[in-house]
């Protein structure tokens, strides 16, 4: 009895897999930025389609590709799906054991394919490996599926269980009825199982789509519920985003606590960070009312372990919001530090990201008992605050990095002065300003006399010390509005906005005298050095900063020719 040709079944399976892969790509494009794990789920479809395509080329390409390669890709596909489901649910785990299993399977499978014409053993190896991975998937999804996705989690768990059943039946079938010496000459049971496997694959795809849609629906329902809390919550959300743009993190947290106190009718509120890796709490912020009226205890910036914290951290231990409506009756509460607010009732909510608790928000002393509605409001605002904090931290890091890169791009690494590029940019700006408003602009250029002798006599390290010494003298003796820069080698420049030559020449002379008298410390010895100065003033016929620099350079060259250690002005 021959139900179907196996090659026809595989071809049909391949076509359906490619169609479902296209559907998966469309789903991924729509939601991959919103939900974690969809990247790995898409890889599952791509790997499975690739494996089936390799199978259809059996007899055309080497068996090591069409059999071992295809089977290995199918195992990889299921592992990727496992990883995708973990991340989608929010509890990722290590998969190193499965990749070790994959490596062992691939080596053994390839060995038997290359050394034996019988495909029974490779088939048993594949089914056994697939059974192990699918068992893990079925166990994981049934154990970690969240309540809001419970129905779909059960269905997906059942599908994986059926995959396990098919694998076990196939192993028994191959032991009882060997597969033979050709891949496409398997017995009818194997063909029937492949058809069932194809149908389960389609059902699994539909279930995965339903799972994603259920989450979208849940989030939409959450948004609707949030809207029903009234315009106040929407207003708070917008207000906090706007407030975050011009405020520090602590100001943002305090503002959020003020708003949430108003929403829930609470009298006290706090927001603290939590490091779950080290079980360490970092005290951060309290509401305005808490700090001014109810709580005078010090603690901002303090760190202490979770084990020393009171019952307000039960939300961390239980990993869920906790309400204490009768605080006095709690048996395990610890005493309050001096100046701490008296607690009548409290509600604390943890923020969980990627399976880790990152912060705790708490409110207290509402006139009436806290209820589920309060939990929803506080949890919503808590999640929003952490999202803003994360974004603000990222923005601050980018800003700091940009500032650092900008500083490095405009600073001479050796002396710390502005580099040639920064000097020219500033000079070009001042030239434009002088042309527009008629303001005076003067430039001083100086060059260390006989600098080569310093390098030759003491070494280049001494030369670097000399350059740093000159830079220090310049920075200590110019105004904030003036700009000192290293233009190259031992040449320096000073740009003097709103300054004419009459005022610039005394400064140049003063700098020359200071350099000559103070000298520089070279190899722990005071060494006398001198410098030649050229001064040039901006005139209306100058087109750009280059012309001003050329005049200053020419004046400095004249100073060199006249015997060095002097100031020359070129009008």
In the chain, the percentage of residues whose pLDDT exceeds 70 is 89
**440 close to 499: Cβ distance less than 8 angstroms:** yes
User: How many whole angstroms separate alpha carbon 497 and alpha carbon 493?
Assistant: 13
User: How many whole angstroms separate alpha carbon 367 and alpha carbon 365?
Assistant: 6
pLDDT at 302 over 60: yes
Angle at 121 between CA 120 and CA 123, to 5 degrees: 65
pLDDT band at 548 (very low <50, low <70, confident <90, very high): very high
The per-residue pLDDT for 2 is 45
**344-353, 406-415, 559-568: the lowest-pLDDT one:** 406-415
pLDDT digits (tens, 9 = 90+) for 151-210: 788 888 899 999 899 889 888 887 877 654 444 445 566 677 777 877 888 888 888 888
Length of the chain (residues): 571
**410 close to 418: Cβ distance less than 8 angstroms:** yes
pLDDT digits (tens, 9 = 90+) for 433-462: 999 888 999 999 999 999 988 888 888 888
| CA dihedral (35, 37, 42, 48) positive or negative | negative
pLDDT digits (tens, 9 = 90+) for 209-268: 888 887 777 776 666 655 665 577 778 888 888 888 888 888 888 888 998 898 899 999
Angle at 61 between CA 58 and CA 67, to 5 degrees: 50
Predicted TM-score (pTM) of the model is: 0.43
User: How many whole angstroms separate alpha carbon 41 and alpha carbon 209?
Assistant: 11
The per-residue pLDDT for 396 is 76
**Between these two residues, 542 and 194, which has the higher pLDDT value?**
542
């Amino acid at each position: 009895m021959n139900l179907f040709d196996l090659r026809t079944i595989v071809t049909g399976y391949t076509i359906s897999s490619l169609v479902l892969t296209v559907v998966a790509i469309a789903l991924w494009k729509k939601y991959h930025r919103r939900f974690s794990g969809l990247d790995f789920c898409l890889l599952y479809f791509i790997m499975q389609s690739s494996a089936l395509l390799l199978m259809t080329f059996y007899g055309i390409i080497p068996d090591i590709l069409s059999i071992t390669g295809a089977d290995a890709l199918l195992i990889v596909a299921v592992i990727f799906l496992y990883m995708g489901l973990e991340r989608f649910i929010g509890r990722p785990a290590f998969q190193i054991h499965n990749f070790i299993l994959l490596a062992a399977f691939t080596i053994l499978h390839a060995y038997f394919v290359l050394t034996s014409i019988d495909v029974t053993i490779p088939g048993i190896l594949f089914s056994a490996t697939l059974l192990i991975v699918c068992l893990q998937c079925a166990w994981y999804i049934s154990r970690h599926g969240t309540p809001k996705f419970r129905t779909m989690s059960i269905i997906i768990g059942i599908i994986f269980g059926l995959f396990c059943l098919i694998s076990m039946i196939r192993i028994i079938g191959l032991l009882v009825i060997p597969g033979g010496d050709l891949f496409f000459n398997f017995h009818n049971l194997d063909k029937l199982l492949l058809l069932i496997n194809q149908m389960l694959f389609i059902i699994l795809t539909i279930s995965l789509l339903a799972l994603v849609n259920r989450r979208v629906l849940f989030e939409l329902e959450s948004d609707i519920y949030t809207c029903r809390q009234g315009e106040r919550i929407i207003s708070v959300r917008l207000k906090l985003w706007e407030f975050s743009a011009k405020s520090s993190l602590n100001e943002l947290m305090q503002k959020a606590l003020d708003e949430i106190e108003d929403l829930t009718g609470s009298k006290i509120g706090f927001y603290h960070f939590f490091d779950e890796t080290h079980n360490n709490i970092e005290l951060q912020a309290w509401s305005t009312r808490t700090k001014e009226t109810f709580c005078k205890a010090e603690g901002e910036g303090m760190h202490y372990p979770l084990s020393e914290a009171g019952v307000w951290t039960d939300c961390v231990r239980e990993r869920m919001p906790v309400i204490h409506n009768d605080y006095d009756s709690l048996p395990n509460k610890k005493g309050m530090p001096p100046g701490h607010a008296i607690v009548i009732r409290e509600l604390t909510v943890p923020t969980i990201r990627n399976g880790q608790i990152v912060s705790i928000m708490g409110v207290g002393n509402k006139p009436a008992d806290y209820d589920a509605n309060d939990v929803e409001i506080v949890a919503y605002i808590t999640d929003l605050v952490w999202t803003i904090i994360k974004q603000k931290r990222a923005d601050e890091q980018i800003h700091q990095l940009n500032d650092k890169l900008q500083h490095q791009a405009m600073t001479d690494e050796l002396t710390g002065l502005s580099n040639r590029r920064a000097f020219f940019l500033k000079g070009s700006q001042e030239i434009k300003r002088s042309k527009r408003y008629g303001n005076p602009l003067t430039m001083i250029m100086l060059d260390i006399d006989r600098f080569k002798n310093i390098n030759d006599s003491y070494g280049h390290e001494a030369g670097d010390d000399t350059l740093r010494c000159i830079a220090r003298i310049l920075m200590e003796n110019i105004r904030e509005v003036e700009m000192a820069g290293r233009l190259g080698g031992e040449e320096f420049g000073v740009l003097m906005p709103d300054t004419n030559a009459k005022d610039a020449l005394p400064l140049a002379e003063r700098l020359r005298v200071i350099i000559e008298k103070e000298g520089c410390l070279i190899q722990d010895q005071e060494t006398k050095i001198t410098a030649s100065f050229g001064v040039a003033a901006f005139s209306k016929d100058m087109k750009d900063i280059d012309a001003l620099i050329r005049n200053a350079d020419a004046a400095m060259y004249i100073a060199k020719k006249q015997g060095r250690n002097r100031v020359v002005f070129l009008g």
